[in-house]
Chain A
Amino acid sequence: MIQRTTGEKVFNVFNYIILSLLALTTLYPFLYTFTISISTKLAADTVGLHILPEWGQITLDPYKLVFRNPEIWTAYGWTLFRTVVGTTLSVFVTCFYGYALSRPNLMWKKFFSTYIMITMIFSGGQIPTFLNIKDLGLLNNVWVYILPLLISAYNTIVARSFFVGIPEALNESAKIDGAGEFRTFFQIIMPLSKPIIMTLALWIAVAHWNSWFDSMLYMTSGKKIVVQQYIQRIVNENNTAAITDFGAGENAAQNLTSETVKSASIMVTVIPILCFYPFVQKFFIKGVTLGAVKG
């Protein structure tokens, strides 16, 4: 076993401590939200830290409210659709563009670079964008969840900065072996780029999973909305109901406050992500390799 200096050992200990403390602080909001989401009205209204639920003051009513309608499953369906299909397509389109930009021999490179950068900085505005979507026939069409988001400047430029690190020499040796550009890309470049591909996939998938504004603005049919918008709706209705005398009566029948409903809605969004996250994570967190053996 190779000895480390004292300094390094001390640093190591501090590192673990700092990261543990940091992790605990990030754990707290999660626990808080989870606790509130299963708290009764009385417990939720009480001022306190809410790290753990109060014994005897637990209710599943907020979740029952969220899952009350079968509509939520249709909404989940569309969210899955856009997350899977949208992410896959976007990752390819983004990587293609970013990779092409990274090759030194690309013609008109400055033009293509500028072309995409401008879109990151200038935008036509909410209404012209809406008019454009309408013009393209994408109103109330589920492809509006995917097509406008196929490529974004930020993701592309980050992808490019990764691909730049892959030397042109690889392309050349592949060419000598008789491989075309596409084959090179898929068989050599992509496998080497797993970290960036998974990072992009993660960013894009999370964006799809969380989005609701496009659903709200472009969809007229309730059967095509995504789950985030559906949940927003539940939270809003609950808020409105709570304000009127008459709606409050309904809330009274169920053990709900706007706080608990909001919290349940967040849990319903976050927990599926956390379930899938470990599968993605292993692609960009280097596992235990040579370094570990030594110490």
Chain B
Amino acid sequence: MKKSDTVVVSDAYLPKKKTFGKKLRANLPLLIMILPGFIALLLFNYKPIYGLLIAFQDYRPRAGVFGSEWADNFGMANFIELFGNYKFGPVLRNTFTISFLRIIFGWPAPIILALLLNEIRCGWFKKLAQTLTYIPHFFSWVILAGIFKMLFSTVGPFNMIMGMFGLDPIPFFSDTTAFLVLIIITAVWQGMGSGAIVYIAALSSVDESLYEAAYIDGASKLKQVFHITIPSIMGTITTVFIMNLSGVLNAGFDQLFNMYNYSVYEVADIIDTYSYTLLMRSEWELGTALGFFKSVVGLVFVLTSNWFVKKISKDEYGIL
């Protein structure tokens, strides 16, 4: 461009900053998109949320939440009773133990499965393997527990094979450590196929040409995985990780309820079992207080992990 072509414009001719009204109008379609979800959440999630107040009250069901008095000690009496209960320490410890183990082993497994499946070139094998790994997700623990109790029983096939090699049988159902190992392995096994789907979906959006370019550049398969595949789905990985942490105090009630017995009770009794018995006994305040506690812990974990992820990824990832 020739110097004479440049035009000097004074401030008065620059477009003014958008007014609020203009911004609103520009955003309108997006806000309309938000609307249905917003209303649904308001009606179905926020309207009943007053129920949390029960945790702070001396609740009389017939008077309802808005007719009941506050609990002693600035409404904290129920929490004091809950935390001082002989059960609270053990169930909290058990819940954290199982939950952390589930996360440590259960979080990478679906990712690895998705990566392995991604490397399969044979179309029908890929689809079949993916379908089969997904199936356990559909079997309720009522049935799966029965199967595992039979397979890993003291006189079951697994221990029979141990016997054939001259090894002592492993008491999966009366030794607390062996029991936990079994719980974690079977929990991971059940969930990995289902968990892998979201990563498989993410992987299918990855541009093939990136791999080709890398290949031409001489990158090995392993390098491709670490430099192309994983970074492409890092958003999904971090999102799923943070979201799952909100359920950090869910240690798998269904599974434990169906697989435990009195011998392993001391490690299998978790917050949800306690919660369930409180509900059955119509202990409204303690039950709500326990639920509230779970929620607060979940919130703390989500916020912390979100902050951590944001810091590490320099704000690229994170959900809030």
Contact = CB atoms under 8 A, between A and B. Distances in A.
Interface of A: 4-5, 7-8, 11-12, 15-16, 18-20, 22-23, 25-30, 32-33, 47, 49, 92-94, 96-97, 99-101, 103, 105-107, 110, 112-117, 119-129, 131-132, 135-136, 147-148, 150-151, 153-154, 156-158, 160-162, 164-165, 180-182, 185, 195-196, 198-199, 202, 206, 210, 259, 262-263, 266, 269-270, 273-274, 277-278, 281-282, 284-292, 295
Nearest to A130: B48
Contacts of B65: 128
Given A266-B143, A278-B127, A113 B319 contact: yes
Contact of B44 (A147, A181, A195): A147
Contacts of B267: none
B47 A132 contact: yes
Contacts of B240: 158
A125 to B, nearest CB: 4
Contact of B201 (A47, A148, A284): A284
Contacts of B287: 125
Interface string B199-223: 0111111001101100000001100
Given A117-B320, A161-B236, 15 more contacts: A19-B117, A29-B135, A92-B36, A120-B246, A121-B295, A131-B48, A151-B36, A151-B37, A181-B33, A195-B205, A263-B143, A281-B131, A284-B200, A286-B204, A290-B212
B194 to A, nearest CB: 9
A119 B30 contact: no
B27 A105 contact: yes
A117 B246 CA distance: 10
Contacts of B150: 47
B44 A287 contact: no
A193 to B, nearest CB: 9
Contact of B52 (A105, A122, A136, A278): A122
Contacts of B80: none
Given A27-B132, A290-B212, A122 B295 contact: yes
Interface string B31-72: 101101110110111111111101000000000010000000
B43 to A, nearest CB: 7
Contacts, number: 253
Interface string B119-132: 11101011111111
B36 A96 contact: yes
Interface in B286-320: 287-288, 291-292, 295, 298-299, 302, 319-320
Nearest to A106: B30
By CB atoms of chain A within 10 A, which of B23, B48, B298 has the most? B48
Contacts of B23: 107
A262 B41 contact: no
Interface residues on B, range: 35 or more
| Pairs A-B, 10 closest by C-beta atoms | A128-B51, A181-B29, A124-B48, A124-B51, A96-B33, A97-B37, A195-B201, A128-B48, A284-B201, A119-B45
B164 interface: no
6 contacts: A107-B31, A112-B38, A117-B302, A148-B40, A150-B44, A199-B201
B19 to A, nearest CB: 13
Interface in B159-213: 189, 193, 197-198, 200-205, 208-209, 211-212
B43 A136 contact: yes
A30 B24 CA distance: 55
Contacts of B279: 126
Contacts of B13: none
Nearest to A281: B127
Contacts of B320: 110, 113-114, 117
